[in-house]
Amino acid sequence: ARESCLVGLIGSGVGPSLSPALHQREADRHGLRCLYRLIDIDPLGIGPQGVGELVRAAARLGFDGLNITHPCKQTVIEHLDGLSEDAALLGAVNTVVFGEDGRAIGHNTDWSGFARSFARGLPDAPTGEIVLLGAGGAGAAVAHALLTVGADRLTLADTDPARAAGLAGTLATRFGAARVRTVPPEGLPAAVDRADGLVHATPTGMAAHPGLPLPAGLLRAGLWVAEVVYRPLETPLLAAARAAGCRTLDGGGMAVFQAADAFRLFTGREPDATRMLTDLSEL
């Protein structure tokens, strides 16, 4: 096994990312020297299309791998030498691994991160009918995870109906049209009323997007609620859901498990996600 690891995160506004701390702390516990650099495209004056230049530079400088975030998860694909099967299906890459042969292979640990967090945090939650609020990047990963682990049916809702329709179309091709549908905003109350669970995948609840993503009156005991926002860990939605008697899952698990799955790809070592969850709660 290698004794050191040089990795980084490419994206816009990555300064506050917790990924360096999560990876470096876990590496420390493995006796592995890990340097996790933040590579912000904004001060570099590089747009989403310029990610290829950075990926090639990192490979030449001896990086072992990279995480990739907004707005480069799709644009990076054309600059890679290969994709894992799931990254190809999702059309999104959040982890790049450089092989000893210099080949750059793209992976996606966002969906597996959500799947593992869900299995751990809501292990026996019913998955007959699930409402997914938000059909952007996080929503696409969550939808892939839920349909992969066996949810019967997903109902997608997004304030931008074109995004909901677009994601529904790709999911229908992948998983079958009977398992996916969309509702316009006015159809949300009836959809939540019928659902076993709700996953929230919009930015609502972050400092820049305060408030609740749906009326609190739609939350009821018996509905489980999973959040993808993890900054803050405790969102207004989670507080309202608990007050209504819902079982809840915060977004920290997805963040930690995507990092843990990337750590395994970068280092070949088995991360201890429980320790990493403790780290996240301390950061």
Please, which residues bridge with residue 98 across strands? 104
CA atoms within 13 A on the CB side of 28: 10
Segment contacting ligand NAD (CB under 6 A): 48-56, 249-257, 260-268, 273-281? 249-257
The answer to the question of residue 181 lying near ligand NAD (CB under 6 A) is: no
159 assigned to active site:
no
- Shortest CB 200 distance to ligand NAD, Å: 8
Among 36, 98, 175, 230, binds ligand NAD (CB under 6 A): 230
The answer to the question of residue 283 lying near ligand NAD (CB under 6 A) is: no
The answer to the question of residue 238 lying near ligand NAD (CB under 6 A) is: no
Among 213, 248, 249, 266, binds ligand NAD (CB under 6 A): 213
Q: Which of residues 40-69 bind ligand NAD (CB under 6 A)?
A: none
Count CB atoms within 10 A of the CB of residue 222.
Answer: 12
**Residue entry with tokens 């975030």:** 69
Which amino acid, one-letter code, is at 92? A
Whether the link from the prior residue into 189 is cis, omega within 30° of 0, is no
Rounded to a whole number of angstroms, the CA Rg of the chain reads: 19
Q: How far apart are CA 39 and CA 54, in angstroms?
A: 9
- Shortest CB 11 distance to ligand NAD, Å: 11
Among 206, 216, 243, 283, binds ligand NAD (CB under 6 A): 206
Q: How far apart are CA 98 and CA 7, in angstroms?
A: 10
Q: Which residues bind ligand NAD (CB under 6 A)?
A: 70, 110, 113, 133-139, 157-160, 163, 201-204, 206, 213, 228-230, 251, 254-255, 258
